[in-house]
């Protein structure tokens, strides 16, 4: 197992000096983010990342997510880790209190999402997609959709997915063929989606799919795409789960890495059409989906700060070797690294930031 210990001092420095968290905490709605609370939140998140998620990384890689008799099973320990994640309130951190969120700044929740990704990317992809789905619904959902789905997705009791890609429609999203047919105030969805991250799993009872599809009379290309909310289980008026929707996991994609993350081929509507509800306006779906795509893009960016060194203790040994050498014998990149570690770079970074024109 490769251990992971979040670099809390560096994170705190980046949050305070580069992201301006103390100033953000003065903004209306961000008051809960006092310095003490930020410390406590970072330290507790570090424990979950270090003690629960990181040890499961190898397990996930070896065992992989599996499709058994049409049901996706995640690797040993992942479901329990997700329960601890959701019960710990981690999913709710940045969201609006009106829907059960904790209203903490996104800057803070982003640092914490970096910890989940660094500890165990196969696990972190589930919350990463759910965060985007929550942002999408907050921005574009109807009052009824928000009422029915948001609180459960904010708490992590249910998760959300993003369904754009089809065999003939990757970068060229406008080529998608999944169909949606009006049926009263709902729609019937039919088509195949591929590469759907956590398109099915055993973490939660329900999964809320955000699906791009095309109406029969839609114009061609991206101007004819609409967005639908399609739950794995339909939701009864009082909030309990109803019938299973017409969605089937056909297979799991084979990938070079992140084996724990079930990347699904999903068939919608093999048996008459999956029931879905329009989000936003007809033929304006791509605009709404961009809320989720942009969230995913930003948060996938955190994955560039992945694992610490390949061998435990390697960073310590490297740092000791650099420190033992006289400055004249240190490679330029080593000197830069050491300077940043010693804190010499901090005043310079802060100074440069203050000098920069425009908003902080």
Ligand X SMILES: Cc1cc2nc3c(=O)[nH]c(=O)nc-3n(C[C@H](O)[C@H](O)[C@H](O)COP(=O)(O)OP(=O)(O)OC[C@H]3O[C@@H](n4cnc5c(N)ncnc54)[C@H](O)[C@@H]3O)c2cc1C
At its nearest, how many Å lie between ligand X and the CB of residue 262? 10
Q: What SS3 state is found at 285?
A: helix
At its nearest, how many Å lie between ligand X and the CB of residue 71? 19
Reference 212, options 144, 287, 143, 160; nearest CA is: 287
| Contact call for residue 165 and ligand X (CB under 6 A) | yes
State which residue, 148 or 163, has the beta carbon closest to ligand X: 163
State which residue, 162 or 230, has the beta carbon closest to ligand X: 162
Q: How many residues bind ligand X (CB under 6 A)?
A: 12
Residue with the closest Cβ to ligand X? Answer: 170
User: For 164-177, what is the HEC assignment?
Assistant: CCECCECCCHHHCC
State which residue, 263 or 283, has the beta carbon closest to ligand X: 263
CA atoms within 13 A on the CB side of 75: 20
Please select the residue that binds ligand X; options are 107, 162, 275, 278, rule is CB under 6 A. Answer: 162
User: Cβ distance 193 to 178 under 8 Å?
Assistant: yes
Site string for ligand X, 240-279 (x = CB under 6 A): ---------------x-------x----------------
- Number of H helices and E strands in the chain, helices first, is 13, 12
Please select the residue that binds ligand X; options are 13, 82, 116, 195, rule is CB under 6 A. Answer: 195
At its nearest, how many Å lie between ligand X and the CB of residue 197? 3
Tokens of 60: 């996930």
Q: Which stretch binds ligand X (CB under 6 A): 72-80, 144-152, 165-173, 203-211?
A: 165-173
State which residue, 5 or 303, has the beta carbon closest to ligand X: 303
At its nearest, how many Å lie between ligand X and the CB of residue 219? 20
Task: Indicate the burial class of 221 (C-beta count within 10 angstroms; 0-12, 13-18, 19 or more).
Answer: middle
At its nearest, how many Å lie between ligand X and the CB of residue 180? 16
CA gap 187, 282 in Å, rounded: 11
Please select the residue that binds ligand X; options are 59, 119, 190, 196, rule is CB under 6 A. Answer: 196
State which residue, 156 or 160, has the beta carbon closest to ligand X: 160
User: Cβ distance 292 to 135 under 8 Å?
Assistant: yes
Q: Where would I find the beta strands (DSSP E) of the chain? A: 66-68, 71-73, 159-163, 179-183, 186-197, 207-213, 226-231, 233-235, 241-244, 247-252, 263-268, 274-279
Please select the residue that binds ligand X; options are 46, 164, 189, 227, rule is CB under 6 A. Answer: 164
Task: Indicate the burial class of 2 (C-beta count within 10 angstroms; 0-12, 13-18, 19 or more).
Answer: middle
User: Cβ distance 222 to 237 under 8 Å?
Assistant: no
Residue 89 per-residue DSSP state: T
At its nearest, how many Å lie between ligand X and the CB of residue 225? 12
State which residue, 107 or 126, has the beta carbon closest to ligand X: 126
Q: Which stretch binds ligand X (CB under 6 A): 58-66, 112-120, 164-172, 324-332?
A: 164-172
| Contact call for residue 291 and ligand X (CB under 6 A) | no
Per CB under 6 A, which of residues 106..135 are in contact with ligand X? 129
Binding residues vs ligand X (CB under 6 A):
129, 162-165, 170-171, 195-197, 255, 263
């Amino acid at each position: 197992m490769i251990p992971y210990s979040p670099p809390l001092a560096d994170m705190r420095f980046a949050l305070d000096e580069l992201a301006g968290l103390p100033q953000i905490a003065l903004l209306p709605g961000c008051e809960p983010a006092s310095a003490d609370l930020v410390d406590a939140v970072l330290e507790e998140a570090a424990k979950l990342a270090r003690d629960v998620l990181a040890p499961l990384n190898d397990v996930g890689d070896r065992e992989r997510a599996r499709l058994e008799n049409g049901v996706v099973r995640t690797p040993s320990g992942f479901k329990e880790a997700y329960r601890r994640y959701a019960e710990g309130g981690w999913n709710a951190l940045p969201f609006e209190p009106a829907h059960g969120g904790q209203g903490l700044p996104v800057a803070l929740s982003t640092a914490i999402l970096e910890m989940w990704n660094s500890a165990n990317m196969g696990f972190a992809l589930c919350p990463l997609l759910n965060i985007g789905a929550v942002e999408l619904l907050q921005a574009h959902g109807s009052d009824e959709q928000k009422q029915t789905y948001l609180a459960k997705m904010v708490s992590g009791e249910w998760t959300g997915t993003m369904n754009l890609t089809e065999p003939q429609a990757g970068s060229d999203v406008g080529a998608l063929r999944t169909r949606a047919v009006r049926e009263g105030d709902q729609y019937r969805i039919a088509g195949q989606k591929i590469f759907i991250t956590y398109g099915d799993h055993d973490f939660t009872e329900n999964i809320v799919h955000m699906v791009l599809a095309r109406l029969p009379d839609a114009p061609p290309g991206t101007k004819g795409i609409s967005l639908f909310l399609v739950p794995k289980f339909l939701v009864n008026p009082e909030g309990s789960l109803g019938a299973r929707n017409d969605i089937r996991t056909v297979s799991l994609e084979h990938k070079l890495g992140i084996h724990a993350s079930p990347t699904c081929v999903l068939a919608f509507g093999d048996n008459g059409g999956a029931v879905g509800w329009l989000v936003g306006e007809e033929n304006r779906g791509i605009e709404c989906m961009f809320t989720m795509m942009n969230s995913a893009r930003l948060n996938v960016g955190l994955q560039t700060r992945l694992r610490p060194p390949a061998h435990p203790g390697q960073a310590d040994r490297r740092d000791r070797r650099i420190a033992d050498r006289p400055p004249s014998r240190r490679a330029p990149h080593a000197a830069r690294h050491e300077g940043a570690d010693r804190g010499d770079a901090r005043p310079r970074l802060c100074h440069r930031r203050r000098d920069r024109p425009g908003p902080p």
